[in-house]
Amino acid sequence: QVQLVESGGGSVQAGGSLRLSCTASGYSTPRGCLGWFRQVPGKEREGVAAINHNNIITYGGDSVKERFTISQNKDNYTLYLQMNNVKPEDTAMYFCAADRTRFGSCTLERIYYDFWGQGTQVTVSS
């Protein structure tokens, strides 16, 4: 059973930085993807970035790609999201998720992710 636990959220001023972490247990397959998603109340959960076992990365748009960096430490099964130059529109609950069956590049379609963490709140003030 895969368990995902996020941490690192909090309040930050626009232009600042945050680093989110997600510790994965029970996830040791040599394939699949780990991803970050975010959601604000009343809106769909959207994909931010995902990374596969070979460190091939998929980003959810140029605004994210220019400011956020996804990475992983496969030794301790930890996923990271380095968020730089954050903006008020980055305010959301951020979730870590696992797509255990993916071969090749990751998708950011949330339907393919079968395990989810509880989320960590990021609030950016202007």
3 with 25: CB under 8 angstroms?
Answer: yes
Q: Is the per-residue pLDDT at 28 higher than 80?
A: no
Phi-psi region of 80 (alpha: psi -120 to 50; beta: other; left: phi over 0): beta
Task: Read off the pLDDT of residues 48-102 as tens digits, 9 standing for 90 and up.
Answer: 999 998 999 999 988 899 999 999 998 888 999 999 999 999 999 999 999 988 8
pLDDT on residue 105: 93
CA distance 18 to 27: 25
* Residue-level pLDDT at 62: 87
Look at residue 109 and tell me whether its pLDDT is greater than 70: yes
Name the average pLDDT for the chain. 94
Tell whether the model's pLDDT for residue 39 goes beyond 90: yes
- The answer for residues whose C-beta is within 8 angstroms of residue 26's C-beta and 6 or more apart is 1, 2, 3
Over residues 22-47, the mean pLDDT reads: 89
Place of tokens 């941490």: 7
